[in-house]
A = this chain, B = another copy of it.
Amino acid sequence: MANLNELSQQDFDALAQDVRQRYEDLKAKNLNLDLTRGKPSSEQLDFSNDLLALPGKDNYRTKSGVDVRNYGGLDGIADIREIWAEVLGVPVENLIAGDSSSLNIMFDLISFAFAFGTNDSPRPWREEETVKWLCPVPGYDRHFAITEQFGFEMITVPMTEDGPDVAAVEKLVQDPQVKGMWCVPLFGNPTGVVYSRETIERLAGLEAAAPDFRIIWDNAYAVHTLTDVFPDNPNVIDIAAAQGNPNRFWYMSSTSKITHAGSGVSFFASSVENLDWYRSIANIRGIGPNKENQLAHAMLLGDAEGVRALMRKHAGSLAPKFAAVIGILRERLGGYGVAEWTEPQGGYFISLNVVPGTATRVWELAKDAGINLTKAGSAFPHGVDPENTNIRLAPSLPPLDEVSEAMDGVATCVLLAAVEKRELQ
């Protein structure tokens, strides 16, 4: 195959005819396939079905004797905190366990800072003329939705193979209105990029003009490998403290894509000072998280090795789907010069860049053929991809044969949109 734009008119016309025929055939199948969200599949959820009957009748005490059925315990129970401290490699006193959603905690952190200011803020963020927030792109739509909700000005930072363009970040944080940054450091959503050690060190050491500059370190894929290799999880709390920025990181994690997506346990790790600030408001917001669910998780997982054993099962289920997506992209699109994609070693997503200007059209063609893709642009603030090139692929939810069928269809749509674009030129 040669680059589509370099084909002779005759070859191009033949290709165009073939692609149109394929698209008609695709539509005739009346598919109903969904690659929109990073949801675990039924098969993956089954791995943790023991949870549905845990902690088990008459099991309601933690190792230290706390009755998990009653009120109390804002930090969560030691049993699950100790396991997760081991998973992340942070001291247990730097980590608290919450309800099911770390996204809830991220929203609350920003909401508390907005209403009341952080422990390092000269004033509540709502009293700032403008709050600016750094958004590596492509990134996670639900992150951007939070900073949009609070009216922050979102400044995009390009992703590289080593993480966000840290030189750009170093310049941007000289503006005291820049109060924070979204980061997914491991197997990031949607690129799958793993931040390099150098990037992490430089983010920890950033000389930010705002004394209350915070990095939301959403380590959502801390153990979510697609191979036999588990990635390092650098202790950014220590790394930042060593560089004189002990309160820099709000470090998030959860079991959502480890046990059951909607009923997991979330974690928030940070400096003791940051945790004390969070507690001072969270303690007004309520009494504490669901400790029965935490005990159930501690019993299911056992220890960090138990977590890794479970993650190997997930890898066994997910890796063939990722391999299928990448195989089809290579086979159908390789050489035409109409697409580039990431080939991640972990996480939940593949980031696909199609011919600039055609992502929305690809999404539309796929939709008309019964294949739902995440909306084009969704990995950018306000849902606007300035190049209209990026599509996030989420292959986890459907069974393998549907992933393959959907991706073959997506490849056809990518080609057809590229053909249409050349025809208009």
Given contacts A69-B263, A99-B290, A292-B260, contact A60 B55 (CB under 8 A): no
Flag if B52 contacts A145 (CB, 8 Å). no
Ordered by A's residue number, 23 sampled pairs between the chains whose C-beta atoms are within 8 Å are A42-B67, A45-B69, A49-B60, A52-B54, A52-B56, A52-B69, A53-B56, A69-B262, A71-B256, A71-B261, A100-B289, A101-B287, A103-B285, A104-B285, A104-B286, A107-B285, A108-B285, A115-B115, A260-B292, A262-B287, A262-B288, A263-B290, A263-B293
Q: Give chain A interface residues in 71-101, CB to chain B under 8 Å.
A: 71-73, 99-101
Q: Are B72 and A262 in contact (CB under 8 A)?
A: yes
Q: How many copies does the complex hold?
A: 2
With A55-B52, A145-B284, A286-B104 known as contacts, the answer to whether A71 contacts B262 (CB < 8 A) is yes
Contact check, A263 vs B286: say whether CB atoms are below 8 A apart.
Answer: no
CB distance from A424 to the nearest CB of B (A): 38
B51 contacts A53, CB within 8 Å?
no
Q: Which residue on chain B has the smallest CB distance to residue A292?
A: B263
Interface: A117 (CB within 8 A): no
B53, A49: Cβ atoms under 8 Å? no
Q: Which of A37, A99, A104, A263 has the most CB of B within 10 A?
A: A263
Contact size class for A?
35 or more
- Give me the 3 closest cross-chain CB pairs, A-B, nearest first: A69-B260, A263-B292, A107-B285
Asked if A291 lies at the interface with its beta carbon under 8 angstroms from chain B, I say yes
Smallest Cβ-Cβ distance to A71: which chain B residue:
B261
18 further A-B pairs in the complex, CB-CB below 8 A; given A39-B70, A52-B55: A52-B60, A52-B69, A53-B56, A53-B57, A68-B262, A69-B261, A71-B262, A73-B262, A99-B99, A101-B286, A104-B286, A108-B285, A115-B126, A126-B126, A149-B284, A262-B292, A263-B292, A263-B293
A285: B residues at CB distance < 8 A: 103-104, 107-108, 146
Residue of B at shortest CB range from A101?
B286
When A70-B260, A291-B262 are in contact, do A286 and B103 touch as well, CB less than 8 Å?
yes
